[in-house]
Every structure is written in C-alpha cells, then in structure tokens.
Amino acid sequence: MRADDFLRAAVEWVAIRDAVRAVYPAEKNPFYTTVCGMYRELAWCHVLFHKGQYVPVVTRLRAIGEGALNIVFPAPVPMSPSQTEVIALAAEVRASFRSAVVARYPAAFDQFGRPKTRFRRSA
C-alpha cells in the first residue's frame, strides 16, 4: 500500500458500500454501519497521512480494526510511527476488513471477490 492508496481504497469502499446496500438494504448493525462509512475513514486517513499526522491515522485504523473486526493488534500504537509503519498497518486493516466483509456479505460480491454493482455516485 502506498500513500495514494488511501484514496484508491476509499473509492473501492464506495463500490463495496453500494454493493452491500443493494443486496442487504434492511440490515442495521455496527458492522454494517462501519462498512458503509469506511470510505470516509480512509479519506480522512489520506488527509491526515499527507499532513504528517501519523498517530491519528494509526489510531483511526486500529479503532476500525478492533471495533468492527475484533482484531487484536500485537503491538501498541507507537508514539511516533514512521510512514512505513502506518502504510503497513493500513494494508493489514484493509485486507482483514475486506475479507470479513466478503465473508459476511457474500451475495454482494462475485466469485473473484469484486463488488457486483458498478461504482456510481451516491446521494
């Protein structure tokens, strides 16, 4: 994952959100809410990352992973994480969360794990 991958991931999550909403419109739970709001978190992480605010990026990513996925990260949040540590954590959270979403909402994805609906502008 590179620095601009936060934005690419945010765009991908808009498509995932749209696919999940199309297939599971009535679902209301914290996991679903996190899925639908993940693109915003990734966009904020992009802004914070480019401003050099690595600690808030790590804190947000860990909160998503620990809150929605119940992932326990082995290392505590470093007081001053490096750029590479932030990118590595982002890649880990993104992959784990994507796997969890595909497992929880399989009807929203094709056999290759791609969202079934095409990207569209949301209201």
User: Is 42 among the domain residues?
Assistant: yes
User: Is 17 among the domain residues?
Assistant: yes
SS3 73: coil
At 117 the pLDDT is: 60
Half-sphere exposure of 66 (CA within 13 A, CB side): 13
Number of structural domains in the chain: 1
Give the residue, 47 or 31, on which the prediction is more confident: 47
Per-residue pLDDT at 123 exceeds 50: no
SS3 109: strand
At 47 the pLDDT is: 92
pTM recorded for the entire structure: 0.78
Neighbours of 47 (CB within 10 A): 13
pLDDT in tens, 46-57: 999 999 898 888
Strand partners, 109: 115
Provide the residue range defining the domain that includes 96.
5-108
Rounded Cα distance between 48 and 42, Å, is 10
H or E stretch covering 59: helix 54-68
